[in-house]
Amino acid sequence: MNNENVANKTSLTKIEDAQEILRHHLECLWADPTKAVDLPPIMMWGPPGIGKSTIIREMTEELDIGFIDVRLAQREPVDIRGLPVPRDDRQGVDWIIASEWPRESQEGFNPRGIILFDEITAADPSLQVAAYELILDRRLGMLYDVPEGWYIVAAGNRTKDAAVARTMSSALANRFCHIELAADSKSWVDWGWKNGIHPSVLAFIRFRPDLLFNMTGNRERGWPSPRTWARVSLEMQLAETRGLSDRALSHIIEGLVGVGAAIEFQGFMNWAEKLPDIEGILRGDEKLVIPERSDQRYALISALVTHVLEESDIGVIINGVFDVLLAFTNDWCQVAYHDIQLTLTSRDRMADLELLSQHPRHEELEEKILGAIPDTGGGA
C-alpha cells in the first residue's frame, strides 16, 4: 500500500471508544481549565442515523452537565456571531449575542457542559466561517468567551453518504480531533437493553448485525440504521398498546428500514412466534427445548430477559431462569446471562442481581460460562 492510500484511509471508532475519548477530554478540561484553548475539540463523522448526537446528549445526561445543541445548517451567521445594533447617537454599534450561549450570569448556569455544533458539514460555508472563531478560539472577539468548563464538539455526515454535506475547510479540519463512528451491533444491543428497545428488534440485530446499518438500498426511502431501528421499536410498542393491525405495522416498518430489511425482520418474527411458551417454561409448566436455529435462540434469549424484567418477584421464576441458562451451550449461556445482568443493572434492580448471584446453582452457571462444564446441547 503506497503512502497516499495510507493517508486517505480512516479507521472506524466503536461507540464505546468514542464515549471513552469524549469522557477523557472532559475530565482533562475539568482537571485543568487553563488547557481549554489547547485541548482540541472533537469532530464526530458518520453517516446519517448512526448515533453521533445521541452519544453526546446521553453523555451530558449521565454526567448531569449542560448541553447546547446548535443545528448549524438551520442558523444564520448572526445567530453565531451576534447582531449589530446601531447606537442611538449613531456613533457606533452594540452587539447582541445569542442568549443560548452559556454565561455565568444566567439563572441556573451550569459551570460544565458541551456545545454541540451538529450537522456542521451541511452548513453553508458562511456559517462555518461564523462558527470558526467560537470553535477554535472559544470566543467571539471581545464580546464573549466560552466558560472554561464547557467543551466544544462538532458532528457531521460524510460527503460519500449521499447526505447534504460540504467539504470542511482545511484550516478548520486541522484543528479538530477527528473520530469516524462505526456501526457496532454489540454496543448498540447493550445500549438497547438499557434504553427499552423492543426485545424482538434486539434479537434480530444480534442475528443479523449486518442489518444494523446498511445504505446499499434506496437512499431516498427508509434504510436500516440505529436511528430507524429505534423507531421500529417505538412503533412496535405503540402498536402493542394501541391495537394496530400486523398488516399496518408491517408497512410502517418497511417505511422505516426499507423493503429488504423489513422482509428479513418479518421472517425472523415469524420464526420467533414458533418458540415454546417461555412463561410456562420459567414456571415449570412447559418442557424446555432449546431451538436448533440461531435466530430462534436469539429470540428465546430476548424472551427470557423480557420475562425477568417484567416479573416483580424474580424468586417465583428463578429456578426456571437457571434451567434455561444451563440448558444453553457455553457461548449462548454467556450471552443470555450478560443480557440479564445488563438490563437488571440499568434498572437499578440490584437486589434481584444479588438473588441470582446467591442462588445455589450460580456456581454451576459460572463454570458453564467459563467452559468448565462440557456442552450437552446444540452448538452455536
> Would the pLDDT of 249 be above 80?
yes
pLDDT tens readout for residues 352-373: 999 999 999 999 999 988 875 5
E-state strands within the chain: 12-13, 42-45, 66-71, 83-86, 93-96, 113-118, 139-140, 144-145, 150-156, 177-181
pLDDT of residue 98: 78
Round the average pLDDT of the chain to a whole number and report it. 85
- Span 263-285, average pLDDT: 83
> Would the pLDDT of 159 be above 80?
no
Q: In 3D, which of 311, 309, 298, 339 has the Cα closest to residue 190?
A: 339
pLDDT of residue 57: 92
User: Residue 131: exposed, middle, or buried by beta-carbon count in 10 A (0-12, 13-18, 19+)?
Assistant: buried
**pTM, 2 dp:** 0.72
Q: Which amino acid appears at position 117 of this protein?
A: F
Instruction: Say whether 114 sits in a helix, a strand or coil.
Output: strand
Domain limits, CATH 3.40.50.300, in the chain: 3-181
Least confident of 93-97, 157-161, 360-364: 157-161
- Give the CA distances from residue 331 to residues 308, 372, 375, in Å, rounded to whole numbers and listed in that order: 20, 12, 10
Cβ neighbour number for residue 63 with a 10 Å cutoff: 16
Q: How many residues does the chain have?
A: 380
Q: Which amino acid appears at position 309 of this protein?
A: L
Band the pLDDT of 3: cuts 50, 70, 90. very low
Angle, vertex CA 30, rays to CA 27 and CA 35, nearest 5: 100
pLDDT of residue 161: 61
- Span 335-341, average pLDDT: 92
Q: Which phi and psi angles does 88 have, rounded to 5°?
A: -60, -35
CATH number of 3-181: 3.40.50.300
